């Protein structure tokens, strides 16, 4: 883990931002961020995020708030976005993604755009469970019914609450 200590000397704000970007870029060493071994249905969510972030001809810094329950994959999606196009946005026209469980953090004028993370549906939940239980995209035939029961019990789909966390399926 790296920490960056930044001192603001009441200089020009753009100079401070440039210094921070240089330090972060150096630390990241232009390598991709690690993402889950078996991500499930990330591409459509990544494309949605990129559309919110991609404002042509804008040199302004854009803040995107990403809101959703804990463990739903907000950080995973943000890492995918960074790996796909994030390095293009350093410097003028920077894009910053803020992931949070607390909707109050991104309310009002605090961010330019808000992305609400969707919960997984039945097939996504079952696929995630299957990758971790059976190391393949779907459960073995003789485990299909019990796998669906496990996913439903975890609250990932099929319940009135529908508020389970994908992390439950990985434990």
pLDDT of residue 116: 94
The pLDDT, as a whole number, for residue 160 is: 41
pLDDT of residue 28: 64
- Residue corresponding to tokens 């630390």: 27
Return the pLDDT at 159.
41
CB 8 within 8 A of CB 81: no
User: Is 132:38 a contact under the CB 8 Å cutoff?
Assistant: yes
CA atoms within a 13 Å half-sphere pointing along the CA-CB vector of 38: 19
Contacts of 3 (CB under 8 A, 6+ apart): none
pLDDT in tens, 1-12: 444 444 445 556
Retrieve residue 112's tokens. Answer: 């330019």
If 0-12 CB within 10 Å is exposed, 13-18 middle and 19+ buried, where does residue 66 land? buried
Q: Is the pTM of this model over 0.75?
A: no
pLDDT digit string, tens, across residues 42-78: 889 999 999 998 877 677 888 899 999 888 889 999 9
**List of the chain residues with pLDDT < 70:** 1-14, 16, 27-30, 57, 87-91, 156-171
CA distance 58 to 88: 13
Task: Please return the burial class of 5, using the count of CB atoms within 10 Å of its CB with bins 0-12, 13-18 and 19+.
Answer: exposed
Distance CA 167, CA 56 (A): 36
């Amino acid at each position: 883990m790296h920490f960056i200590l930044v001192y603001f000397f009441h200089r020009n704000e753009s100079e401070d931002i440039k210094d921070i970007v240089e330090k972060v870029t150096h630390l990241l060493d232009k390598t991709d961020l690690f993402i889950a071994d078996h991500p499930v249905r990330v591409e459509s969510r990544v494309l949605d995020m990129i559309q919110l972030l991609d404002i042509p001809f804008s040199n302004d810094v854009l803040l995107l708030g990403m809101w959703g329950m804990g463990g739903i994959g907000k950080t995973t999606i943000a890492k995918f976005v960074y790996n796909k196009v994030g390095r293009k946005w350093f410097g003028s026209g920077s894009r910053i993604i803020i992931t949070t469980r607390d909707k109050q953090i991104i309310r009002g004028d605090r961010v330019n755009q808000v992305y609400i993370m969707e919960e997984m549906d039945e097939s996504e939940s079952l696929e995630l469970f299957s990758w971790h239980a059976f190391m393949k995209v779907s459960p073995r035939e003789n485990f299909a019914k019990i796998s669906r029961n496990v996913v439903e019990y975890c609250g990932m789909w099929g319940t009135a609450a529908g508020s389970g966390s994908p992390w439950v399926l990985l434990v």
